[in-house]
């Protein structure tokens, strides 16, 4: 397993064994900490499409909550028909155009789910009460307790403008299993979050 950060990467857990029920369950278990941190875009490197189909069949049958649960918890999977078994293969993979396109497609679908949930809250008198829009309000919720944050969305520009303060906030939030997402520039989601001030915290309903 590999954790990808733009074109940088580092190795994650190595899972060995015969492919089957137990193997797929170990893969899901290894991914759970990432899901809790808000990482929900998963690319499966599988030259053989049948390998990918068998894994997704397992997900649909035994871990369907990953695909059809509450919008802020669903995970988006996609396949790339390449190998990623060692660092050299991964290095070549993450710099390829096909990888960037598929990653953009996958993260776009995931962000779309979150933005749909946000828009519903914005258009509901009770839902809007579960949203925080200022850095001080979000810090109070994360550091002080009381209110229960569930998801923090921040634009790249807001993140860079507020530097260490925002970085510390997101790190503490992640440590408390609050999902966080830095929205890339030039996307519809970034434009919408910027309209709201560049930062939105969705409290647990």
pLDDT (tens digit, 9 = 90+) per residue, 174-201? 888 888 888 888 888 899 999 999 999 9
Strand partners, 154: 182, 199
Judgement on whether residues 102 and 159 belong to the same structural domain of the protein: no
Residue 116 is assigned to a structural domain of this protein: no
pTM as predicted: 0.67
Q: Which residues of the chain have pLDDT under 70?
A: 6-7, 69-72
For the chain, list the strands marked E by DSSP: 2-5, 8-11, 41-45, 76-80, 131-132, 149-155, 179-183, 199-203
Q: Which two tokens stand for residue 77?
A: 């999977």
144-160 pLDDT, tens digit per residue, is: 877 889 899 999 999 99
Residue 119 is assigned to a structural domain of this protein: no
Residue 118 is assigned to a structural domain of this protein: no
Q: How many CB atoms lie within 10 A of CB 152?
A: 24
Domains in the chain: how many in total?
A: 2
Where in the sequence is the domain holding 7, given as residue range(s)?
A: 2-109
Judgement on whether residues 65 and 102 belong to the same structural domain of the protein: yes
Enumerate residues 6+ apart whose C-beta is below 8 A from 61: none
3-state class (DSSP) for residue 85: coil
Q: How far apart are CA 182 and CA 151, in angstroms?
A: 11
């Amino acid at each position: 397993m590999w954790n990808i950060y733009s074109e940088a990467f580092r190795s994650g857990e190595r899972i060995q064994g015969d492919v089957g029920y137990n193997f797929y369950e170990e893969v899901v278990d290894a991914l759970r900490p990432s899901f809790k941190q808000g990482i929900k875009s998963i690319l499966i490197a599988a030259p053989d499409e049948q390998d990918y189909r068998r894994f997704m069949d397992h997900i649909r049958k035994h871990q369907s909550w990953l695909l059809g649960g509450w919008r802020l918890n669903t995970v988006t999977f996609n396949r790339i028909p390449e190998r990623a078994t060692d660092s050299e293969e991964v290095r070549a993979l993450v710099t390829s155009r096909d990888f960037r396109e598929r990653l953009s497609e996958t993260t776009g679908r995931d962000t779309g789910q979150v933005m749909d949930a946000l828009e519903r809250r914005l258009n509901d008198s009770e839902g809007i009460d579960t949203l925080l829009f200022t850095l001080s309000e979000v810090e109070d919720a994360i550091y002080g307790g009381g209110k229960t944050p569930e998801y923090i969305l921040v634009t790249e520009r807001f993140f860079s403008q507020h530097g260490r303060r925002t970085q510390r906030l997101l790190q503490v939030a992640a440590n408390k299993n609050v999902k966080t997402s830095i929205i890339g520039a030039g996307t519809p989601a970034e434009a919408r979050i910027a309209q709201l001030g560049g930062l939105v915290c969705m409290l647990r309903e």
